[in-house]
Structure 1
Amino acid sequence: MSTEDPRELVGTAPAAEEKALEAALRPKTLQDFVGQSTVRGQLSLVLESSRLRGAAADHVLLSGPPGLGKTTLAMIIAGEMNAALRITSGPAIQHAGDLAAILSSLTDGEVLFIDEIHRMSRPAEEMLYMAMEDFRVDIIVGKGAGATSIPLELPPFTLVGATTRAGLLPGPLRDRFGFTGHLEYYSADELERVLRRSAGMLDMQVDDAGFAEIATRSRGTPRIANRLLRRVRDWALVHGVPLVDREAAGQALDTYEVDRRGLDRLDRAVLHALCTTFRGGPVGLSTLAILVGEETETVETVAEPYLVREGLLARTPRGRIATEGAWRHLGLQPPESADSGGEAVSSGDPRWDLGDS
């Protein structure tokens, strides 16, 4: 029996042991990339133009929620341009010297991918401005009055930046990207296409209803869809099921506590606490996190975004509240005194922590 934490199945960060499998399932060309038709079309024009000009492609900024294919698109850009790919991340670049070391070793036409680029340090960001625009950086040698600036010319390169929080990027950095693409959540039909391609590579037999069942529980995210598909494969292999249909897929995902709307244990715990302990809310984030036994940041970044997007939870100035849809999803009857937002409690109740919303 698997000992995997069910929360990892619908989390957006890949586990270490999953990275090799995820890499094998990544599409290698824009033609194979499923979904994001607008971004794909625009990016195809940018890359084709650069090939015709015989020059490095313009710098590309990809934004959107995690798990939608930003890293995959960076790899595709390098592949389409027949260029080498250098991968790093914003948190790894905390000093200007860190960035200078990377930039100075780039080759002509190379693609530099910086994930979570909004988390770079300010000195590194300022160095990146000149590198992106003029393909050169100034290296400061020495300190104080004796410090000197040595200009370092860089070969033309393409920077691909990825961010889940585009609003945190400073304007001067955002304006230096020649192309900006925002990735949207996938529809169920698009996720089914992703799953069909992955199932073929995994040599799995799944019928149409089985694909639909997995897709509806995948939170609109290809990374999660592929992860759930692999867990269904494990379940089918252990139980000797040669063809995965809707019933088999449902039983497999029920085993991993992923329900029909893609909610996992943490999601349901948050809704259950709101509806039962707090009668629909409002309640402060820290109080809610304590009750479900998780860190505040985990509740806010892992559970809340999907619950809000599904219309099951709302964030108000007074705290979190459960919507009528949340009560129905849990099979509970909303209190008669609840208003349209699900708020049914007195703000004077001392158990309610309203100050940390």
Structure 2
Amino acid sequence: MAVDDDLATPRLVDGAAEDVERAAEAALRPKDLSEFVGQKVVREQLELVLHAAMGRGRPPDHVLLSGPPGLGKTTLAMIVAAELGSPIRVTSGPAIQHAGDLAAVLSSLEEGEVLFLDEIHRIARPAEELLYVAMEDFRVDVVVGKGAGANAISLSLPPFTVVGATTRAGLLPAPLRDRFGFVGHMDFYDDGELEQVLVRSARLLGVELVTEAATEIASRSRGTPRIANRLLRRVRDWAQVRGDGTLDLVAARRALEVYEVDHLGLDRLDRSVLEALCRRFGGGPVGLSTLAVAVGEEPETVETVAEPFLVREGLVGRTPRGRVATPRAWEHLGLAPPAGGPTLFD
């Protein structure tokens, strides 16, 4: 199956490019557990939960999937519905700001349907309390009217399964977390697993991927399948326009150079943060807001997009006084750290 998702097309403006990117990612998603690469422990546990429930002829327990973005939480939610042979209703925490929003969704569910709540940690508190009862007792209480004449009507719901996804499990209140019968934490992929993802995706895209190129792309993908597939499509673009169509090692390196992804997987924003930290602030410590202003980004963007990977790779440290560059960061930039510079213990 080939997917036409050339993001370089000038006609794609505003949200159109994002829509194409999402469509391309969706086309590469595995359709069942047997196709899903990586996350061996979570996959095996989830398979047991689903097959046991199907054997009993009942919907499975509610499922919570946690972990960093891009590891396959949405894909697994889709697979849960596919394995059960059930329809899936998709929404997200930010979209549910009132209890009435959630009540409308819950009251329209069919028996055995899967309700996928992405970013479940961002659901509004009134809706969250309504969800408690719905998940545990398959009931929703709707208030009709206002003031002294208001009445609470209890509506029974058919059995259903909630699949929640969160990148910040610590923000989930304990009462909500306890209502999930299965909690799976998803970890970053190793390079070997990412190579398997890339080989499968290349086959679906209808392109020839040389083993050395798969290894190169995997090593720069930050342990994340979503990034691996995105880089694969960019290498495909380069091979199509400037190469002979084959995704070999030369095409991979040249394409990733064009898109400013270095051998560690750092992109423009990552390097901007390191450059500012080392060149402008002498390695720190420096506050998040000051660092964000220096690179022209919002503090939330630096904290959620760049910082987790930089910390995980040992390039940046977080201290009570602010962010500091590690010796590895100076080495990566080809700079000499100042004598007596800050450390993680300052």
Cα distance in structure 1, aligned partners of 2:92 and 2:290: 33
Cα distance in structure 1, aligned partners of 2:234 and 2:345: 36
Of 48, 53, 74, the match for 1:50:
53
Paired residue type of 1:43: L
1:335 deviation in Å? Answer: 1.8
Question: 1:261-305 deviations in whole A, cap 9, x for unaligned?
Answer: 110111101101111111111111111111111111111111111
Q: Secondary structure at the match of 1:198?
A: helix
Cα distance in structure 1, aligned partners of 2:158 and 2:327: 58
Of 305, 315, 331, the match for 2:308:
305
Of 283, 287, 301, the match for 2:286:
283
Q: Retained in 2: the 8 A contact 1:83–1:110?
A: yes
Cα distance in structure 2, aligned partners of 1:149 and 1:127: 13
Cα distance in structure 1, aligned partners of 2:257 and 2:70: 22
TM-score (norm 2): 0.94
Give the alignment of 1:214-293 within 5 angstroms.
214-293=217-296
Paired residue type of 1:68: L
Q: Secondary structure at the match of 1:279?
A: coil
The residue number in structure 2 matching 1:25 is 28
**Which segment is superposed worse, 331-340 or 303-312?**
331-340
Cα distance in structure 1, aligned partners of 2:250 and 2:331: 23
2:117 is the counterpart of 1:114: yes
Cα distance in structure 2, aligned partners of 1:138 and 1:244: 57
Q: Retained in 1: the 8 A contact 2:110–2:160?
A: yes
The residue number in structure 1 matching 2:132 is 129
The residue number in structure 1 matching 2:40 is 37
Question: 1:320-355 deviations in whole A, cap 9, x for unaligned?
Answer: 100000011111112232355497xxxxxxxxxxxx
1:241 deviation in Å? Answer: 2.4
CA 1:70–1:90: 2 relative to 1, 3 Å: same
Of 68, 72, 90, the match for 1:69:
72
Cα distance in structure 1, aligned partners of 2:124 and 2:187: 27
Paired residue type of 1:161: G
Question: 1:13-68 deviations in whole A, cap 9, x for unaligned?
Answer: x9322111111100000010000000000000000000100001110000000110
2:157 is the counterpart of 1:162: no
Of 320, 323, 326, the match for 1:320:
323
Q: Secondary structure at the match of 2:90?
A: strand
Cα distance in structure 2, aligned partners of 1:275 and 1:269: 10
Q: Secondary structure at the match of 1:161?
A: strand
Q: Secondary structure at the match of 2:60?
A: coil
Cα distance in structure 2, aligned partners of 1:342 and 1:119: 34
Paired residue type of 1:172: P
Paired residue type of 2:18: A
Cα distance in structure 1, aligned partners of 2:141 and 2:155: 6
CA 1:108–1:248: 2 relative to 1, 3 Å: same
Unpaired runs of at least 5, structure 1: 5-13, 344-357
The residue number in structure 2 matching 1:194 is 197
Cα distance in structure 1, aligned partners of 2:44 and 2:38: 11
Question: 1:71-129 deviations in whole A, cap 9, x for unaligned?
Answer: 00000000000000000000111111000100010001000000000111111011111
Q: Retained in 2: the 8 A contact 1:90–1:117?
A: yes
Paired residue type of 1:42: Q
Q: Secondary structure at the match of 1:34?
A: coil
Identity %: 67
The residue number in structure 1 matching 2:12 is none
Q: How many residues align?
A: 334
Unpaired runs of at least 5, structure 2: 1-5, 10-16
Cα distance in structure 2, aligned partners of 1:2 and 1:76: 27
Cα distance in structure 2, aligned partners of 1:240 and 1:249: 10
CA 1:172–1:203: 2 relative to 1, 3 Å: same
TM-score (norm 1): 0.91
Cα distance in structure 2, aligned partners of 1:243 and 1:333: 40
Q: Retained in 2: the 8 A contact 1:195–1:225?
A: yes
**Which segment is superposed worse, 203-212 or 64-73?**
203-212
